[in-house]
Amino acid sequence: MVRREPINSGLGYSGNVYDAESATVLGNFSVSVLPALSATTEYALTNGSLQGIQRSNNQVLWSFAGDGALVTSPIAVNNYVFVGSSGGNLYALDGSTGAQVWTQATGDGSLAPPRTAPTPKALRLQRGT
């Protein structure tokens, strides 16, 4: 379980990681955007790289830099992790290994985070037929 608080600069999040059964503080974290969580792994964007972090011991399992401009909150679906860059690339990664499964150029920098109040956008991912 995590408790998130805005970092003083307002440009990210930090907080404590708690054991769900005992409320013991297991550690802390600091990330640029909100992470995605699976049952065993946290997917966090830190300093422009996406990291897969083992939730039980905070060990970094893998790191992915993409085009060096990763900016979106990751999305975890089944064993895939999706993340976008300000360069207009959308990446799909294997959630266990961090290996790139595919990349899709969106043609612009529309995946960059907003500089003012966010305008809702939808991203729909579906399995091919």
Alpha carbon distance 13, 97 (integer Å): 25
116 SS3 class: coil
> 82 forms bridges with which residues in the sheet?
75, 92
Q: Would you list the domain boundaries of the chain?
A: 2-105
Tokens of 33: 């955007």
pTM, rounded to two decimals: 0.70
CB of 108 closer than 8 Å to CB of 88: yes
Instruction: Give the pLDDT confidence score for residue 13 in this predicted structure.
Output: 72
What is the fold, at CATH topology level, of the domain defined by 2-105?
Lipocalin (2.40.128)
pLDDT mean by block of 10 residues, the chain; 129 residues:
43 72 78 84 90 91 95 92 92 97 82 48 46
